[in-house]
Chains A and B, each alone.
Chain A
Amino acid sequence: MSRFLVDRDGETHVRLLEGMELTKGQTVLAAAGLVLLFLVPDITRFTGLSFTAIHRGILFGLAAVGLNLLLRHTELVSFGHAAFFGVGAYGAAVLASHFDVSSGLLLLLGGVLAATTIAVLVGYFVAGYLDIYFALLTLAFNQVLYAFVLQSSYFNYSDGLSVRPDGLNPPTLFGLEWTSAGYDLILYYFTVVVLVVSLLVMWKLINSPFGRALDAIGQNRTRARFVGIPVEKYVWVAFVISGIYGGLAGGLFALLQLHVSPDPTLYAFVSGEILFMAILGGFGTLVGPVIGGVVLVYLLVQAPFYVEYYNALTGLTLVAVVLFLPEGILGSIPKIGTGLARRRRDPGLLREDVTAIGSSLRQSVTRAVTTVRIIVFGVN
């Protein structure tokens, strides 16, 4: 076998990095995904899809990838990850509007540093807590930041700050001033590169001894402590890394939107959306949160142009994911693929599916009738 091809369990795998070996199918999917990402500007030009909405979705997806480090591995649910996204965005906006920093990369760096600082502070206070206490603490810190920004003249209250150092034009990228279309395109490709690198780093991280330790912490903190893992410290570090991803996404969001205000970046609902993105795309996977980000942002910002009751659409999607795709869009693909293959081989299974759905509905109705009877008559 060559350096890039290895044999595992009798099957040829493609080795991308040390320890990163993909099956042929996975390699094709990854390559297709990468090509798709690079073709997005052209695809949107010919299909009428919104380029900006997809770009925004990828950025929120990147924040969801960061959140997923906590969710998937330490099994901690953060309700406050918009804090880092928002601080990343505001870090860039403050440098642009108060200090006239014109380099996009410096603005991004400023945003990431600000988010990292906040993540270090918040992480220190929340790392020792579990379950609902952890969730509520992260939410509380998120709300404190939101309220602080909303009431502060330095951050221009709810009207927010512009990310246009000279008032009208976007920041420079790679030392050059771009036209509006050029800026959007370069920023998009830069985002794609950042996303791919971030995914590779995350993959490395979760497949390292540190990642395994996080898994152990998620499964049982007490046992993890017994085997010598400094649980709080590791959770703290994971929290900070997660915050850095949020800050990176927020900084890029500021460069894309060129205006940052509290509601779309720091509000607690945004935290909920980031969490939903991870679940929607499949929090058991590495790339799922990115898919979830694109799908949810598209539903939130583009659906109003096509569907009158677009909020119901988001709700129905959530219901459908919880009921039918509990492992998310990407996480469910293998199961759906296997199921479809089995039904192709044995069409008789389709009849069983219909019977199963029918009996499930019958059971639901029976349960509902019983509940109503208990409520009305007090006894079953």
Chain B
Amino acid sequence: MSTVIATPVKTRAHKGFSPGRIWTLATHTATQLLRMRIVAFLAVFCLVALGAAFFFPQLSPEQQLKQLKDWSMGSMLVASVVFSITATALLLPKDLEDRTLYTILSKPVPRYEYLLGKLLGMLLLLFCGLLLMDLIFSVVLWLKQQALLSAMIAMLEQQQAATPENVAYVEASIRKYGLNSGVHVEVWMVFLRASVVTAMTLLISTFASTTLFTIITSMAFTIAGFGVALMREWVLKGLYGWTEKTVGALLAILCPDLGMFDLSTAAIRGEVTLGVVGQLTGYAAMYVAAYMVVSHLFFVEKEL
């Protein structure tokens, strides 16, 4: 009679916090969003804006480069904010509709890990999208800059004024508005702003009843967030009445100060130091962390 010896099953101890699980959720979120073709729409939007920059009237070389930069950065900002709000607002309802949320949460996955995974997936997609836009934009800007520089030097030669001094002057003034580190700093600022908006939208979606409510509320908070600095400057210190001051103070408390990340003029001059970039990155991280803590408190109570 043979005896069967049962081999002990090796079970891995369940961890309270697992970066691996969060990464899996994040990549799944990114794939889920990519399948929704949101990125393709945004890419077309940006390319159209970029193409439009070439149809502007023939202005001075500096103005041509500035217009190209302003329009491209503006479209990147609008695209990233719209993408952050709409895509994040869809995340939880889509998981509920597809019932994947129940599958995930029925496993030993804490709710904060689920939220972190969703946030990280969104940020990953945003970062990759903006990196791609930055690359395309940098190439276009460099080509435009070289074309303008060649045209200017040819014009100086035609006027017999292409002295080394004049050529150096033209080169310096065109380079100032052309491709430099300031461009990448601006794109990073766009990413930071979009990160804060994403975290805020995720927070709203944890208690919102419908996707439409999340989108509208997030949009309103974002628009108000752009004007918070102005509110602090004019309303809270100005000669306004009690009602205006209360509304102003409330908006300043509730909305994130998104205008803080606007360094476009300084970035053109190439004056933004790494220290300032680090400071603003920390500032954005503070918002994201605070919003995630509050999101968790709402989400953990949510009845699914």
- Whether chains A and B associate is no
